[in-house]
């Protein structure tokens, strides 16, 4: 992403300050210092603008989060009003405020049936860490203190705090901090395209679901507290569970009295064409985690939703629950989240993602299957993945060190499209406000960039 000699002095100054003093998430800083960070200065609708005035169409809604698009007055005004009226107060010590009370009620309305009570945190990671503590506390209150092991999946992404990173199954995250912590184990995920071999997707899905039962039996059901999973795995490569997978997983959880905690951080708030991934996939979780689309990324806020079983035990306890953040249910974040959900409802963004807009996105995505570099596309609603492969028939991959996905991503940036590369899987997750013509622009650019990648590789 070299921006070389022509960049302005202002951009250079920002890049220098940044290189000298800013530690970026998930970044190789040596490489960044050489190339200089791209400086994004403003955004509107589905478009980003950098400090050099270059326009990019944001095929990723930021980091899978800007459901309502950029620059929405309604959210800015809701935040401004709260900043003026109640810029801060906490929800500790028997206190509340209108913003968090109304947001809790709204979440009870839009989340799957049975999810009734909400704890607020400031990020998806904190939400999952809070969920882990809730799970442990629940079993302690139930008089089953041995029921503590949490099972998650390979390639899962649940965040970066010690607990959330321990849940995560992206193993590259673990060694730097000596993770996972004790008590977290991982099983196979239903990544049929990459790991399913000769099996049908359904048979492979069933096999990977049965891996949960095998692990529970190996550990002893009396020691297993919960299974934690994203409805559709996001940052691990957009992995869609084959038909039957979730039904089997839920039956296993019930059979062995293992709680099901669903991580809806990416799938929530319309992304899959329904309010939640649980709705799209027919999942009835005991509890769930939300962030990202909850505020469309306009404010840092997350929520852990509890169903009756877990919620009742904690609510009916005589003990104080010893957990909470200074900013749990922050008034400004809560006001913006509430305005965001109201806007999603008013503009029928969930219905659009599940209807005409989502259908057009999926049609354009599927058209890429004719490309010689594309092994498979998969998607639902406004989520889409494009697997770049060496051999379409055998599903053979390019060598990892060829960084084909990264090459494609570089072409995307150069051509004005933000498309994420997860290994050699290209991912799209645009704002839910995306129009038909903007979807066309995204896919026209995506095809051009995949063409350019194929040309680099000498494939036609």
Stretch that binds ligand PXG, among 74-82, 260-268, 304-312, 382-390 (CB under 6 A): 260-268
Closer to ligand PXG by CB, 162 or 203: give it: 162
Assess 158 for contact with ligand PXG (CB under 6 A): yes
Considering only the stretches 31-39, 179-187, 258-266, 407-415, report the one whose residues sit in contact with ligand PXG under the rule CB under 6 A: 258-266
Under rule CB under 6 A, residue 157 binds ligand PXG? yes
Query: Binding of ligand PXG at residue 424 (CB under 6 A)?
Result: no
Nearest residue (CB) to ligand PXG, 213 versus 263? 263
Of the pair 124, 206, the CB lying nearest ligand PXG is at 124
Q: Decide if residue 266 touches ligand PXG (CB under 6 A).
A: yes
C-alpha triplet 83, 84, 86: angle, nearest 5°: 65
User: For ligand PXG, how many residues bind (rule: CB under 6 A)?
Assistant: 16
Exactly one of 104, 111, 123, 272 binds ligand PXG (CB under 6 A); that residue is 123
The 8-class DSSP code of residue 110 comes to H
Assess contact for 127 and 290: CB atoms under 8 A.
Answer: yes
Identify which range of 119-127, 195-203, 249-257, 280-288 contacts ligand PXG by CB under 6 A.
Answer: 119-127
Task: Return the residue of 59, 69, 124, 190 that touches ligand PXG, per CB under 6 A.
Answer: 124
337 is an interface residue for ligand PXG by CB under 6 A? no
Q: Which of 263, 279, 387, 424 binds ligand PXG (CB under 6 A)?
A: 263
Which residue stretch of 133-141, 263-271, 409-417, 433-441 sits at the interface with ligand PXG (rule: CB under 6 A)?
Answer: 263-271
Report if residue 383 touches ligand PXG, rule: CB under 6 A: no
Which sign does the torsion angle of CA 451, 454, 455, 456 carry?
Answer: positive
Nearer to ligand PXG, 124 or 205 (CB): 124
CB-based burial of residue 267 (10 Å sphere; 0-12 exposed, 13-18 middle, 19+ buried)? buried
Tell me if residue 45 falls in helix, strand or coil. strand
Q: Does 234 bind ligand PXG (CB under 6 A)?
A: yes
Q: 381 — alpha (psi -120 to 50), left (phi > 0) or beta?
A: left
Q: Judged by CB, which is closer to ligand PXG: 277, or 358?
A: 277
Please report whether residue 352 would count as binding ligand PXG according to CB under 6 A. no
Minimum distance of ligand PXG from residue 74's CB (angstroms): 23
Q: Which helix (H) or strand (E) holds 375?
A: strand 374-380
For residue 289, give the nearest of 324, 264, 267 by alpha carbon: 264
Q: Quick one: 266 or 374, whose CB is closer to ligand PXG? A: 266
User: Cβ-count burial of 404 within 10 angstroms (0-12 exposed, 13-18 middle, 19+ buried)?
Assistant: buried
* DSSP conformation letters of 281-317: HT---SEEEE-GGGTTTSS--EEEEEEHHHHHHHHT-
Q: How far is the CB of 230 from ligand PXG (least distance, A)?
A: 5
Contact between 235 and ligand PXG by CB under 6 A: the answer reads yes
Scanning 25-123, the segments in alpha helix (DSSP H) are 29-35, 61-64, 73-85, 98-110
CA 354 – CA 382 distance, rounded (Å): 8
Q: Give the whole-angstrom CA distance, residue 419 versus residue 58.
A: 7
Are the CB atoms for 144 and 222 separated by under 8 Å? yes
Q: Which residues are paired to 228 by β-bridges?
A: 261
Q: Which stretch binds ligand PXG (CB under 6 A): 12-20, 77-85, 143-151, 154-162?
A: 154-162
Q: What is the rounded distance in angstroms from the CA atom of residue 153 to the CA atom of residue 167?
A: 8
Cβ-closest residue to ligand PXG?
A: 124
Candidate list 62, 159, 190, 297; residue touching ligand PXG; CB under 6 A: 159
Sequence-distant (≥ 6) Cβ neighbours of residue 182 within 8 angstroms: none
Q: Which stretch binds ligand PXG (CB under 6 A): 120-128, 204-212, 352-360, 391-399?
A: 120-128
Phi, psi at 455, each rounded to 5°: -60, -45
The residue from 125, 250, 274, 280 that contacts ligand PXG (CB under 6 A) is 125
* CB distance 453 to 419 below 8 Å: no
Member of 57, 75, 249, 291 binding ligand PXG (CB under 6 A): 291
Q: Which positions from 65 to 104 touch ligand PXG by CB under 6 A, shown as an x/- string?
A: ----------------------------------------
**CA geometry: angle at 387 spanning 385 and 388, to 5°?**
140
CB of 159 to ligand PXG, least distance (A): 3
Residues that bind ligand PXG (CB under 6 A): 63, 123-125, 128, 157-159, 230, 234-235, 263, 265-266, 291, 420
């Amino acid at each position: 992403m070299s921006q070389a000699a022509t960049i302005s002095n202002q951009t250079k100054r920002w890049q220098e300050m940044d290189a000298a003093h800013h530690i970026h998430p998930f970044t190789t800083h040596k490489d960044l210092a050489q190339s200089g960070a791209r400086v994004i200065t403003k955004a509107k609708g589905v478009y980003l603008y950098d400090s050099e005035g270059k326009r990019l169409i944001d095929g990723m809604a930021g980091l899978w989060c800007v459901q309502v698009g950029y620059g929405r007055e309604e959210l800015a005004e809701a935040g401004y009003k709260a900043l003026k009226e109640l810029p801060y107060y906490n929800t500790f010590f028997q206190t509340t405020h209108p913003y968090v009370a109304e947001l809790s009620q709204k979440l009870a309305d839009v989340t799957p049936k049975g999810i009734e009570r909400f704890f607020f945190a400031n990020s998806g990671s904190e939400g999952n860490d809070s969920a882990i503590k809730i799970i442990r506390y629940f079993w302690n209150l139930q008089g089953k203190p041995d029921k503590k092991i949490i099972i998650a999946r390979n390639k899962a992404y649940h965040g970066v705090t010690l607990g959330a990173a321990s849940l995560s199954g992206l193993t590259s995250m673990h060694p730097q901090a000596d993770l996972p912590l004790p008590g977290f184990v991982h099983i196979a995920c239903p990544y049929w395209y990459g790991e399913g071999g000769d099996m049908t997707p359904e048979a492979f899905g069933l096999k990977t679901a049965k891996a949960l039962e095998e692990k529970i039996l190996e550990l002893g059901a009396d020691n297993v507290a919960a299974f934690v999973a994203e409805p559709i795995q996001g940052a691990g490569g957009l992995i869609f569970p084959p038909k039957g997978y979730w039904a089997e997983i839920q039956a296993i959880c019930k059979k062995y009295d293992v709680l099901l905690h669903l991580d809806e951080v990416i799938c929530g708030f319309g992304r899959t064409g329904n309010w939640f991934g649980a709705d799209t996939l027919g999942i009835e979780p005991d509890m769930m985690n939300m962030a990202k689309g909850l505020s469309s990324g306009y404010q840092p806020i997350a929520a852990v939703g509890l169903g009756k079983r877990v919620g009742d035990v904690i609510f009916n306890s005589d003990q104080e629950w010893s957990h909470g953040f200074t900013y749990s249910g922050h008034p400004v974040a809560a006001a913006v989240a509430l305005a965001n959900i109201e806007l999603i409802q008013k503009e029928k963004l969930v219905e659009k993602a599940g209807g005409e807009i989502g259908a057009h996105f999926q049609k354009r995505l599927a058209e890429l299957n004719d490309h010689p570099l594309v092994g498979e596309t998969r998607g639902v609603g406004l989520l889409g993945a494009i697997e770049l492969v060496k051999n379409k028939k055998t599903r053979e991959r390019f060598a990892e060190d060829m960084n084909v996905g990264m090459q494609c991503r570089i072409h995307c940036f150069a051509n004005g499209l933000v498309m994420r590369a997860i290994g050699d899987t290209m991912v799209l997750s645009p704002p839910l406000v995306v129009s038909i013509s903007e979807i066309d622009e995204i896919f026209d650019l995506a095809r051009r960039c995949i063409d350019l990648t194929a040309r680099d590789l000498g494939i036609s």
